[in-house]
A and B are shown apart, each in its own frame.
Chain A
Amino acid sequence: MSDKVHVTLTVNGRSVDADVEPRVHLADFLRHDLGLTGTHVGCEQGACGNCTVISDGVALKSCLTLAVQADGSEIETVESLATGDQLSPLQQAFKDAHALQCGYCTPGFLMTITALERRGGALSREELRGELAGVICRCTGYETIIEAAEDHLAEVAARG
């Protein structure tokens, strides 16, 4: 059971070498082995999306992926967004819109929207409701999250 497997992956631009137990999922690996506790676990069943990270450019629920499956991939977590003291534009949009309360779900939304942003284009509120339905927030009622996402994506699209 504790026969560990060697993995090599990139996390937030840094290369990581580690030996992991095969049964450890990526969220636990990030949190408890790498100390990247910004990625949160809300269900471990793929339902809450609070554990969403970006893997090779695509949003991924890190509780549904084993750490060993992430071998060779490029992972980005919420810790990669801010630069020094500066919040990223998306983080700032969340702050301006009061899109977080307890903040537990927030990293999941930030990474989901970051992946949407890379896909390109502005989205309507209705489209955003669908795109963001994979992340559960129990505090905000989503209205302000959608507002932050809409504003941010529209701004990014306008910048071209």
Chain B
Amino acid sequence: MVDLLHRHTAAGTGLGVSLPRVEDDRLLRGEGRFVDDLHPFQALHMAVLRCPFPRAQVVSIDISAALELTGVEQILVGSQVAERSEPISVLRPVPGAPDLPFFALATDVAHFEGQPVVSVVAQSRAIAEDALDLIDVEFDPLPHVSDVVSAMEPDAPLLHPNELATNRLVTNNQERGNPDGELAASAVVASDRFFVNRVTALPMEGRAVVAEWRQGARELIVQHSTQTPHLVRKQLAEALRLDEGSIRVLTDDVGGGFGMKLGIYPEDVLACLHALELGRPVKWVEDRTEHFRASTHARESVHDASIGATADGRFTAMTNAYATDLGALNSPFGSAQLTSITFGGPYNVEHIRTERLVTVTSKTPIGAYRGYGQPESNFVREVLIDRIARQLGRDPLDLRLQNLLRPEDLPWTNHTGAILDSGDYAATLRMATERVGYDALRAAGRGPRADGRLTGVGLSCFIERTGYPSARFLANRGSQFGAHEGVTLRANRSGGIDLITGVSSFGQSSETTFAQLLSEVTGIDAGLVRVHTGDTGASPVNTGGFASRTTIAAAGAIELAGLEFVGKALRIAAWLLEIDDPTSLAVRGTDIGPRDSDGPTVPLADVFSTAILGQGIPPSEAPGLEATAYYEPQAAAYAFGSAAAVVAVDPETGDFTIERFVMVHDCGVPVNPMLVEGQVLGALAQGFGAALMEELRYDPDTGQLLNGSLLDYFAPTAADLPHVELLHTEVPSPVTPLGVRGVGEIGTIPPGAAIVNAVCDALSDPQIELSRLPVTPEAVWRALADAAAKGGRA
């Protein structure tokens, strides 16, 4: 590990510099290359007929009229796909759960609205869609289950009678101490049922794939909009019964992923099957209507949770029995898995239990989405903490400060075995509350302002698991991927370095940050590094960009490869300069020269060219200058922080505005502070969306999605979001290379609880409890009306 005190900052492009992004120019000029921008010669286009019901028997399919349409090339139905391919595999199975295998097209039963039933390939997308209209499918609707609570009812229709005796897929319990006894003995206990809304990641570019097969070359080239090219290749090989060597996945620009673009979906298998048989490129680009029904959803869960405290405010125990939805079938990553790990949060609680139940319903499969269970646990815990404060007549800030883990308590192993590595949690809370003027806000008279509104302030303290604690950890959970990243560095004759990675570019700025990391480790100017992304044919096998893990794992790989690479470069330079001790040399920007003094230097271009030519190198060296390294983190790093929201609520209508939002976070050593801030702001926007506006709603009778378009699913616009004040602390993680913590997801975590706590503080009526997301003006108005009916507020 590089000693932080001896950073090679010669080039000025290493850690901690807000370098502009190398990704920007092409994207600003309209030269990004997204999958739908590709127009392969002779390409054909695929469209998919989908089940319109939440659950239905596919009784019969008549494709005869569609086959006659001019321009239609091929139509596949479920039975053909079942012959020609394998069920789609799962990358992160739910531990202990039985398989629910399914093919790329529904065979006899379609399990959710939007599940592919027939695929058509034609000379244009328009013709393929015309053909869909000519296909006659007889569906026999079957009983369905439209939410987590009804899935658990004893008389609920059984959704997978062959594999499951109930709609409960599996339960995982984790417990430490004696939470029940402690709760029973507590002076105060706050308990409630919390509902977390079903939302969707909603990248602006939907899914897309182009598949092309060359029979004689036995090569299937798949251009794919994904966060994980190597995992796509693995899953496609399994589904298509091909050798991995016959598949090359290429991923250029990706228009956002947020966890939704991990692994494969049925349409990917279908496009490949058509391409394999037709010998022509087949393109499929998801439209937004399909996206809302067939790309994974997230977060829907119901939590029965309790927190107990002593009379003087010490937390005694926490419990959360929650049900989280899988949807109708498995997606590659399945339902959120970080709720239990983070439920205890940054607090000192010895007695704790989490019970995770995974249900199946008749809805679109749930998949990974930024946060992956952490916003859920944070909402539940932080809202309950405020209720404890109200019961005890304590200030919520004070109560939190009393219970937060102190720096000297860390590392702290929680009830799931997770280890919170380091940090000063209380410092972030103090910073947030000082910035927002907490004491003045709490001291202010609680009466309405001139505009009739009541103001309130709400807090939320959070942790975020970033990265995976090693492949061993993943193996225990049956995960079909590792925790490592791999990287190849290769000198070129121009004096630059080609850095080749299997990570793709989906907005997370890896091209810029990887070059910076290499600059940090080697002293080479980041401008000399060319990052090549997303080609499984060229890059070392890696895991991919998700779980806030990429920077951590890649930092380790880049460090190892960089040291090997630069070591050889220095040996060759020493030979050229006729200097005995290569360690007296260092890279300085574009040259190699004496580390500590002036003296003769040699340009990198000369060193690299000499190495590549293999002429004039030291006799002990092999030609070429290239290094490949893999790095597997041995522990996860926990990012952390605190947020404070100030709201103004109209007590008549329930309308409220967020007047201020302060967030203090710690992501360890920031590789590029500008990009870190961008990640946090972006995740916060998604956190606000899920807390305030977004919810996929279903008709309980028909089981159909009610708002499956951007016209009625409200993703926040520029006019909907509050101004955010962002502050940070910088505690280097002791468990990661260079002290970095991941940063991609943290912003999704605190908004829900901070806002709910602020609204409740404004209304200062103990009868008013908000236990459901999103928190809308209507929800607040209903809570006010309920409280009034109970004889509370007049």
What's the least CB distance linking A108 to chain B, in Å? 9
Contacts of B683 in A (CB 8 A): 141
Closest beta carbon of chain A to B283's beta carbon, Å: 11
Let me know if A103 and B717 touch, CB within 8 A: no
Q: Would you call A40 and B126 a contact (CB within 8 A)?
A: no
The answer to whether B675 and A102 touch across the interface, beta carbons within 8 angstroms, is no
How distant is A116 from chain B, measured CB to nearest CB, in Å? Answer: 13
Q: Is A17 an interface residue (CB 8 A)?
A: no
Contact-size category for A: 35 or more
Provide the residues of chain B in CB contact with A79, threshold 8 Å.
29-30
A101 to chain B minimum Cβ distance, whole angstroms, is 4
Q: Across the interface, do B288 and A140 meet the contact criterion of CB distance under 8 Å?
A: no
The segment from A3-11, A43-51, A66-74, A152-160 that touches chain B is A43-51
Interface segment, one of B197-205, B298-306, B520-528: B197-205
Q: Which residues of A approach B to under 8 Å, CB–CB?
A: 1, 21, 23-24, 31-32, 35-48, 50, 77-79, 81-82, 87, 91, 94-96, 98, 100-107, 110, 125, 128-130, 132-146
**Known pairs A38-B29, A82-B29; A95 contacts B24 (CB<8 A):** yes
- Do most interface residues of chain A lie in helix, strand or loop, or is the interface mixed? loop
Q: Which of A1, A45, A98, A104 meets B674, CB within 8 Å? A: A98
For the complex, give the distance between the alpha carbons of A102 and B29 in Å.
13
Contact partner, A104, options B32, B288, B509, B723, Cβ 8 Å: B32
| A100 proximity list for chain B (CB < 8 A) | 24, 27-28
- Number of A-B residue pairs with CB-CB distance less than 8 Å in the complex they form: 176
Name the CB-closest residue of A to B254. Answer: A102
Q: Give the residues in chain B near A128, CB-CB below 8 Å.
A: 718
Given A36-B30, A38-B29, A102-B255, A136 contacting B20 (CB threshold 8 A): no
Given A45-B710, A140-B685: A102 and B30 within 8 A (CB)? Answer: no
Residues of A within 8 A of B36 (CB): 31, 37, 41
List residues of chain A with CB within 8 A of the CB of B32. 38, 103-104
A143 surroundings in chain B (CB, below 8 A) = 681, 721, 723-724
- Whether B650 sits at the interface, judged by CB under 8 Å, is no
User: A144 vs B676: C-alpha distance in the bound complex, in angstroms?
Assistant: 13
Does the CB pair A144–B288 fall under 8 Å?
A: no
Interface residues of B in 22-49 (CB under 8 A from A): 23-34, 36-37, 39
Q: CA separation between A47 and B723, bound complex, in Å?
A: 23
Which 6 A/B pairs are nearest by Cβ-Cβ distance?
A: A38-B30, A103-B27, A102-B507, A104-B255, A141-B685, A101-B507
Please judge, given known A-B contacts A140-B681, A141-B721, whether A48 and B204 are in contact too, CB under 8 Å.
Answer: yes
Q: Is the CB of B204 within 8 A of A37?
A: no
Q: A78 to chain B: which residues have CB within 8 Å?
A: 28-30
Q: Which of B126, B205, B711, B724 has the largest number of chain A CB atoms within 10 A?
A: B205
- Give, as a whole number of angstroms, the nearest-CB distance from A109 to chain B: 9
State which of B130, B204, B717, B747 has its C-beta within 8 Å of the C-beta of A42: B204
Partner of B204 from the list A31, A136, A141 (CB cut-off 8 Å) is: A136
Q: Which of B30, B34, B205, B506 has the most CB of A within 10 A?
A: B30
Complex Cα spacing A79 to B32, Å? 11
Q: Of all chain A residues, which has the CB nearest B712? A: A47
**Complex contacts, A110 vs chain B, CB 8 Å:** 28
CB-based contact A44/B30 at 8 Å: no
Chain B minimum-CB-distance residue to A46:
B711
On whether the beta carbons of B678 and A140 are closer than 8 Å, the reply is yes
Residue B218 at the chain A interface, CB threshold 8 Å: no
B288/A42 in contact, CB under 8 A: yes
Contact partners of A47 in chain B: CB under 8 A: 709-711
Q: B256 an interface residue at 8 Å Cβ cutoff?
A: yes
Task: Say how far B130's CB is from chain A's closest CB, in angstroms.
Answer: 8
B719 and chain A: residue at smallest CB distance: A133
Quick check: B255 and A103 within 8 Å, CB to CB? yes
Task: Specify which chain B residues have a CB less than 8 angstroms from the CB of A138 in the assembled complex.
Answer: 202-204, 256, 258, 682, 685-686, 715
Chain A residues whose C-beta falls within 8 Å of the C-beta of B674 in the assembled complex? 98
Q: Specify the chain B residue showing the minimal Cβ separation from A109.
A: B718
Partner of B29 from A21, A46, A91, A137 at Cβ < 8 Å: A91
- Can you list 14 A-B pairs, Cβ within 8 angstroms, ordered by A? A23-B126, A31-B36, A42-B205, A77-B30, A81-B29, A87-B29, A91-B29, A95-B20, A100-B28, A104-B34, A106-B28, A132-B718, A141-B681, A143-B681
